[in-house]
Amino acid sequence: MKNFLILLCLAVITLSFPSVTISAGSADVWARQFLIPDAGVLWSQETGFSECFSVGNDKQWHHCADTKKPISEAYVTKKVDVEYPFKVPASGRLYSVLEAHIEKGAWLYTHVKLFLYKYHRSQGQWVDVNIRTYSALFKGQTLLYDRPEARKIERGEPPVQYVNNTDGSITLMDQLPIYEPGDYKILLRAADRGPTVYLPSQARAAVYLIPDDPSALPDKSLTGSPSTLPPAVSGNADQGNPSTPVGSLAGDWKMTCVATGITYKFDLHLKQFGERIAGHMIRTNGQEINTKVEGRVHPDGSIDFIRSTGGWRQHYVGKVMEVSGDKAVGLGGRFGNAGHEKFEWSAERFK
């Protein structure tokens, strides 16, 4: 009977929690974590490379699981390279952020790669240009390269190094070249094991513009500011917790999630910077990996955040249910796969 209950719990968790695969779609919530003051998000995307390809003894491409049926190189290229066009509306500095994942047991030479191209009308062709890319590359749930910028991305903090000036401006510590306005495109390439094997892999990436003229940003709602983002030099997420009209969410919460009749209890720890919330969830009535939380609370009291670990994602939506003074004390809503949030959650501030 005990073993049956354990298997039942595992089945419910499998049904109610998504797989680690990142599906293609918008990555706006993820991308906005890495904004610095005066910057805006130009493009963001989540991409999955689900197929494995290899060159066989016949010197032709095959699916890894089918070495008898050859496939064309054009088909492989189409599957392992994906392009996304976007526009740079004004002169300024660009940077990109890349988070990519492969399976824990995969053997590889290079991880998912990001390339930037600009269209030169006088030449009538796309030209490869350099861009400073801050990367967090995972094998399973472990960072392949334990660099400070990768740890910041893992924690949901801007990896760009800068200093806040007393007049409200910033001074960049990282060297970012100036780019002219025009047509650009990003190319993402699947992880590989040398030139003859491409591996299943997932990635999400974003491109940011720090314009010479801040008023030139295409969408001011995507910009960061010194008052809403923590200083990037210190990397300390505890600096400042400005309140919102619906009450601050910063602090410790007791959270309850109910999925298919099973109740999951968590300690939810949140920090807040303007509309941005970040933190982590710790399971208290069972064994489970601690998970990261990142999202937004909006002026109308609505809440939208992602719970994640490695490549695993779960979407939460809801609202502030109760406020006391300058603090929110009750939260509630629904959770599940993005677009299918059918399970209920609630949280009460821990006193």
Q: How far apart are the C-alpha atoms of 56 and 195, rounded to whole Å? A: 12
305: β partners: 295, 316
Q: Which helix (H) or strand (E) holds 154?
A: helix 148-155
Mean pLDDT of the chain: 82
Model confidence pLDDT, tens digit, residues 50-70: 999 999 999 999 999 888 899
pTM to 2 decimal places? 0.58
281: β partners: 268, 291
pLDDT reported for residue 234: 28
258 within 8 A of 267, measured Cβ to Cβ: no
Give DSSP secondary structure letters for 7-27. HHHHHHHHHHS--SPPPSB--
Interval 295-301 mean pLDDT: 87
- pLDDT band for 27, please (50, 70, 90 cuts): low
- The residues, ordered by sequence, that sit 6+ positions from 117 with a Cβ below 8 Å of its Cβ are 126, 127, 128, 129, 184, 185, 186, 187
State the residue for tokens 């049926």.
69
Stretch among 42-51, 225-234, 284-293 having the lowest mean pLDDT = 225-234
Interval 292-313 mean pLDDT: 86
Q: Which helix (H) or strand (E) holds 29?
A: helix 28-32
pLDDT reported for residue 176: 92
Residue 78 per-residue DSSP state: H
Interval 298-307 mean pLDDT: 89
Interval 202-229 mean pLDDT: 65
